[in-house]
Amino acid sequence: MSVLASVSGFPRIGRDRELKKVIEAYWKGAARLDDVRETGGSLRSAHWKLQADAGIDLIPSNDFSYYDQMLDTAIMLNVIPQRYRRLAFDNAEDTLFAMARGYQGPQGDVTALPMKKWFTTNYHYLVPEIDSTTQIRLNSTKPFDEFNEAKVQGIDTKPVLIGPYTFLKLARNPQAEELELDQGLVDAVAGVYAEIVSKFASLGAAWLQFDEPYLVLDKEDGDEELFKALYSVILSARNGADGSVRILLNTYFGHIADIYETASLLGFDGIGLDLNEGREENLAAVERFGVPQSTTIFAGVVNGRNIWRNDYATSLGLIDALKTKTGNVAVATASSLLHVPFSTEGETGLKPEVRKHFAFAVEKLGEVADIAALADADDGTRKVSKALAANQALFDGSRVAADKAVAERLNALDDKDFVRQPARAERRKVQHDQLGLPELPTTTIGSFPQTREVRSTRAKLRKGEISQDEYDQFIAGQIDQVIDHQERIGLDVLVHGEFERNDMVEYFGQHLNGYLFTKNAWVQSYGTRCVKPPIVWGDVSRAEPITVRWSKYAQSRTKHVVKGMLTGPVTILNWSWPREDISNELQTQQLALAIRDEVLDLEAAGIKVIQIDEAALREKLPLRRSDWHKKYLDWAVPAFRLVHSGVKPETQIHTHMCYSEFNDIIKDIDDMDADVISFEASRGDLVVLDAIEEANFETEVGPGVYDIHSPRIPSTDELVERIHAILKKADAGRVWINPDCGLKTRGNEETWPSLEHMVEAAKKVRTEL
């Protein structure tokens, strides 16, 4: 039998983000639900065909979603909290959207489910909520419908499901705590999955893929038993009366060395291993425990999380090594391709000799097929393979020349460059005297709504329809308005609004040497929201001042303090496509020096408060605890310190993080040595504040008081209550009041009333102190 080519999952947003466009139009009332359904159908069909044409044997279905596959899984298992049922929509999609983004209208008023980052990616999933009234049962035909839909087109697909282990580990109770898994719940969930398996067996599916990325995390007591309990039920359902289906246990984003033996003993038909991120450990596990005769190893060699061309020689080396252990190897993507853009095809802005180094989702299909074909071939055939020769030419070391000046600057750094003086407690006094802010100072995270006008004016500049001067005048006008408006509602620390920025990373990249940009390389971040990360092509340095002009202008328009707004080096790297030929550590240091130059220029221009966003720092924390420090924090935290260590004591350094799940690295966050940190805390609980209290956290904190990912407007009373909850856990003298993230994705209609309520709430609570 030849080596199978398998794809774990394909991006669903569409070549031109068709899905985003139609769903957003539907939300605005500009498209019908039928339009949404139709676009969904044609995207699925087009994507299946692309994969079939590329020679993929195992093509995924049910990887499509209107919003998020975890939300779909919750709905499939009937995990729909009462508050959403009570809205009583007459179609499933509106309920789904209400769970995803909250709802405020004639049917009621509910907040959205919490949203969290999907492992170490910039993709966000909705956190399923299970309560005592939840009745687990099969509540959806989506997986079967999509399988049948493809079948009608003549394509036999491999349905993909988020597995029960990952589902149960990520689901939460209504207090946002981990679930206490009782036997009843486990049995019920296993039962539904078993039902799905036998149904697919009857429908004639050859393979079913269970995604279990949670298996790459450290195991706690009971985890292995849970895994076994679930899958012994599920695996025994694969032989139905009308046929049988093979089950692939698919893992990614790391290794499963600690459970590989157990998994292999359970008798899966396939085990998917990530040979990018978990390479050594996964290979060692296979080496040690072997591969059962009836199990195929799906070798995840094509990186689903970066955009560089695969090095075929390396991949073939891995596959050849596996082949010494088993005759059954399939070639696969290391994870779903959801995390890469659609195709390099439209990227005409990149020269061919540059573009040839990249593979997006469509190009990766070709890679999987090429490698599968080469895996089968003997040495002689490989020697004359044109595909292999062309591929190897990409890796001859001539891609980009090193920048000597950057290397010299890095070599010259010493320990002092990573430590800000004086110590935080001392600077705090100086800053408080200087800034003269009230208690519970109010501020925002930086951006204000990027209205259609802002975006279309930027588009006009790009197309040459207006001059740079006209554009600059427009931006100045926006800043004038936003400063004025912030003054009027009584915010304490103002911002300039970030109207000049398309994005918090690309904008910086555009002023850095070493960066490349794409036109259409969008990747889904959450729901309909997509990001377009720039590419680190060579050594990085600052080409010119980046933010100084507009920060200085904004400060000149008001007596209040205006915060300068920068993106930190770790986040810039995490939200760029990093190089694969040098380490992330080195790339981050290069970026740190570039942003350090900007910090010092802002300070010299009279900016007294500078926020350096590290929105994505938590995101790339390695999944295994033993890797946290040595593989990440030991260089990520110093890189942040390098950025701000040169400022004067009176300059207040803020940082911001999306998501508050840093209770277990609280010391490291404090070690970044910022003066203030704001973070998301409005969806979900405030446990991080307990950790902060316990750790004697020195950094002042601004836990977000309302959720900006939802269009709903919080009332003043609700916000007063939220601030009270915060003050129960944190000392008022060290608390800031702010939304949980930047406001650029919101409209002005909800932003200003929300902020007004926030300022009112802060004022009200101040009088009680």
Count of residues interacting with ligand GLN (CB under 6 A): 13
Q: Among 200-208, 455-463, 738-746, 748-756, which window interacts with ligand GLN (CB under 6 A)?
A: 738-746
Establish whether the linkage from the previous residue to 106 is cis, with ω within 30° of 0: no
Is 57 within 8 Å of 36 (Cβ atoms)? no
Report what 673 binds from Zn ion, ligand GLN, none; CB cut-off 5-8 Å by kind: none
Strands 329-333 and 5-6: parallel
Residue 519 annotated as part of some ligand binding site:
no
What CA–CA distances, in Å, run from 438 to 38, 309, 431, 435, 767?
54, 54, 13, 9, 11
Would you count residue 740 as binding ligand GLN (CB under 6 A)?
no
Is 299 within 8 Å of 329 (Cβ atoms)? yes
Q: Is 266 helix (H, G, I), strand (E, B) or coil?
A: helix
Q: Which residues pair with 656 in a beta bridge?
A: 613, 678
Instruction: List the interface residues with Zn ion, window 604-633 (CB under 5 A).
Output: 615
Is 190 within 8 Å of 229 (Cβ atoms)? yes
Residue 57 annotated as part of some ligand binding site:
no
Q: Which is nearer to ligand GLN, 615 or 730 (CB)?
A: 615
Q: Among 141-149, 317-325, 641-649, 652-660, which window interacts with Zn ion (CB under 5 A)?
A: 652-660
Phi, psi of 499, rounded to the nearest 5 degrees: -65, -25
Q: Which two tokens stand for residue 2?
A: 């030849």
Q: Which is nearer to Zn ion, 369 or 595 (CB)?
A: 595
Cβ-closest residue to ligand GLN?
742
Nearest distance, CB of residue 446 and ligand GLN, angstroms: 3
Q: Which is nearer to Zn ion, 99 or 741 (CB)?
A: 741
Would you count residue 115 as binding Zn ion (CB under 5 A)?
no
Q: What is the DSSP string of 416-456?
A: GGG--SS-HHHHHHHHHHHH-PPSS-BB--SB----HHHHH
Q: Is 466 exposed, middle or buried (0-12, 13-18, 19+ CB in 10 A)?
A: middle
Q: What is the DSSP letter of 550?
A: H
Q: Which two tokens stand for residue 482?
A: 């936003």
Instruction: List the interface residues with ligand GLN, window 146-165 (CB under 6 A).
Output: none
Would you count residue 570 as binding ligand GLN (CB under 6 A)?
no
Sketch the per residue contact string, 440 through 459, with ligand GLN: x for CB under 6 A, - otherwise.
Answer: -----xxx------------
Residue 117 annotated as part of some ligand binding site:
yes
Instruction: List the interface residues with Zn ion, window 197-236 (CB under 5 A).
Output: none
Neighbours of 553 (CB within 10 A): 18
Residue 498 annotated as part of some ligand binding site:
yes
The CA radius of gyration of the chain, in Å to the nearest whole number, is 26
- Taking CB under 6 A as the criterion, the residue among 4, 75, 565, 594 binding ligand GLN is 565
Residue whose structure tokens are 């300059």: 651
Would you count residue 741 as binding Zn ion (CB under 5 A)?
yes
Q: Among 111-119, 185-193, 439-447, 695-703, which window interacts with ligand GLN (CB under 6 A)?
A: 439-447
- Taking CB under 6 A as the criterion, the residue among 167, 723, 742, 751 binding ligand GLN is 742
Residue type at position 581: D
Q: Which is nearer to Zn ion, 347 or 707 (CB)?
A: 707
Q: Among 101-109, 255-263, 432-440, 740-748, which window interacts with ligand GLN (CB under 6 A)?
A: 740-748
Neighbours of 315 (CB within 10 A): 24
Question: Which ranges constitute the DSSP H helices of 31-141?
Answer: 33-53, 69-76, 82-85, 92-101
Neighbours of 601 (CB within 10 A): 18
Q: Which two tokens stand for residue 102?
A: 């909250």
Instruction: List the interface residues with ligand GLN, window 652-691 (CB under 6 A).
Output: 656, 658
Would you count residue 505 as binding ligand GLN (CB under 6 A)?
no
Would you count residue 504 as binding ligand GLN (CB under 6 A)?
yes
Distance (Å, rounded) from C-alpha 617 to C-alpha 636?
Answer: 8
Residue 530 annotated as part of some ligand binding site:
yes
Would you count residue 708 as binding Zn ion (CB under 5 A)?
no
Q: Which two tokens stand for residue 473?
A: 């005048």
Residue 671 annotated as part of some ligand binding site:
yes
Distance (Å, rounded) from C-alpha 332 to C-alpha 318?
Answer: 12
Angle among Cα 609, 613, 618 to the nearest 5 degrees reads: 140
- Taking CB under 6 A as the criterion, the residue among 744, 751, 757, 762 binding ligand GLN is 744
Catalytic residue among 357, 709, 724, 757: 709
- Taking CB under 5 A as the criterion, the residue among 161, 286, 302, 658 binding Zn ion is 658
Report what 498 binds from Zn ion, ligand GLN, none; CB cut-off 5-8 Å by kind: ligand GLN
Is 146 within 8 Å of 62 (Cβ atoms)? yes
Count of residues interacting with Zn ion (CB under 5 A): 3
Nearest distance, CB of residue 526 and Zn ion, angstroms: 12
How many residues in total does the chain contain? 769
First to last CA, the chain: 75
Sketch the per residue contact string, 591 through 630, with ligand GLN: x for CB under 6 A, - otherwise.
Answer: ----------------------x-x---------------
Would you count residue 257 as binding Zn ion (CB under 5 A)?
no
- Known active-site residue 496: no
Nearest distance, CB of residue 505 and ligand GLN, angstroms: 9
Nearest to 158 by CA among 272, 321, 255: 272
Annotated binding site for L-homocysteine: 445-447, 498, 613
The catalytic residue positions are: 709
Catalog residues that contact ligand GLN under the rule CB under 6 A: 445-447, 498, 504, 565, 613, 615, 656, 658, 741-742, 744
Catalog residues that contact Zn ion under the rule CB under 5 A: 615, 658, 741
Annotated binding site for L-methionine: 445-447, 498, 613
Annotated binding site: 17-20, 117, 122, 445-447, 498, 529-530, 575, 613, 619, 656, 658, 671, 680, 741
Annotated binding site for Zn(2+): 656, 658, 671, 680, 741
